[in-house]
Amino acid sequence: MRTIVFVLLFFTQISFTQILPEKERALLKDEILEDRFKNILPGLMEDANIDMWLLISREYNEDPVLKTMLPATWLNARRRTIIVFYRNKKEKIIERLAVARYNIGKSIQSSWDKEKEPNQWKALIDIIASRNPDKIGINFSKHFALADGLVKTDFDELLANLPETYQGRLVSAEKLAIGWIETRSEMEMKLYKKLVKITHDIIEEAFSEKVIHPGITTTEDIVWFMRQKVTDLGLETWFHPTIDIQRNKEFLKSHITSFSKGKEEKIIQKGDLLHCDFGITYIGLNTDCQQHAYVLNEDEDEVPVFLKEAFRKGNRVQDILTSNMSIGVTGNEILKASLIQGRKEGLRPSIYTHPLGKYGHSAGTTIGMWDSQNGVPFNGDYALHKNTVYAIELNTTVAIKEWNKDIRIMLEEAGFFGDGVFEYVNERQVTIKPIKTQ
């Protein structure tokens, strides 16, 4: 009986009309990419004071930054792909050149004729020499993995071919690479609102009486329902989702256990407080969301007041954190101020907010980690920049007298920090979702 129920559930249909067909996705992805090259890259190169930016990758071993610059029809680099961005300060333009056999979509034109110059490295050196840049940025970084994409072989080949005149001009493009990854355009933010709405809709369906049958449905059933829903919609998930339960007469798990991906499968019962951690990928952007639902007991018509009050405290920690976010302030400074303020208000917060965008755990400032509540070295010392998106991820521990135990309200929502103003990309959960079952 249980198997039949869940076979049917996997075919539950709801409207997701905002999801585009593949061809329209590709057109939008390339339009967004061209817009970023025109309207974001020039300012980032100027701010980083880099004249030329070199990105070098081989097929299936792509630099994480270069990966975000490939058009929709390029799923990977081809052979050895070299992209050159040159900031022509005199003409106030950014040249986009590919030292490759092919144009990279419509945005980056091939500047290598192999028949005239068979050596790809020599063709690159000719481009460098003809422009004579003062600072040549390459992607290496000790502390930011996404800005450390130049592999040793390509670096060694570059040095072996680059004249000494230019070797002394090589600098880390860390600031530029982080800026490219973390900065969101207006076009991207319009897409992001739809993407977060899709994420919320999938959670809404998973946490519903259509899917959850107390005494039958397990946490793993819901996990795989969500995975299947993502696949059926033609989307992807960037991490395996989790579903966990807090209930009366069961002690609160430690943070180590709570953040373990090896969750124990449990059968869902009435009176359970459910929690999910779920995110999807769509047209080059990612979401990361945690929400709560409560399975009503037979004698309940709404979520108990004591759980509503606990959830309100979780929202309050969100408000405290986002009110402390300001341009130029580091993640460690934001973390410290928020924890102090929360504790003064009698809360027991834990904050571990991370950048979100081109990658799920993206580049930018880190505002705490669940096991680093005194600050995060290096990554937490990076300052907050405008036009960036974050997974506002945190929890607060609340004593529940009615259950004679502590519970943990764990929340995560995509938030956008604009020109000095914070806003949720597409709202946040403000009440625990009630699940009324038969």
- Of the candidates 353, 350, 375, 351, the residue with the CA atom closest to the CA atom of residue 364: 353
- Asked if 243 and 196 touch (Cβ cutoff 8 Å), the reply is no
Mean of the pLDDT values across residues 28-34? Answer: 96
Residues 214-241 have pLDDT tens digits of 999 999 999 999 999 999 999 999 999 9
The CA–CA distances, whole Å, from 389 to 176, 181, 321, 403 equal: 17, 11, 14, 37
Residue 1 has pLDDT above 60, yes or no: no
Higher pLDDT, 349 or 12: 349
256: confidence class by pLDDT, cuts 50, 70, 90:
low
Mean of the pLDDT values across residues 3-10? Answer: 41
- Asked if 335 and 373 touch (Cβ cutoff 8 Å), the reply is yes
Of 10-24, 158-172, 244-258, the poorest mean pLDDT is in 10-24
Radius of gyration of the chain (CA): 24
- Asked if 141 and 177 touch (Cβ cutoff 8 Å), the reply is yes
Tracing tokens 């979401």 back to the chain, one arrives at: 287
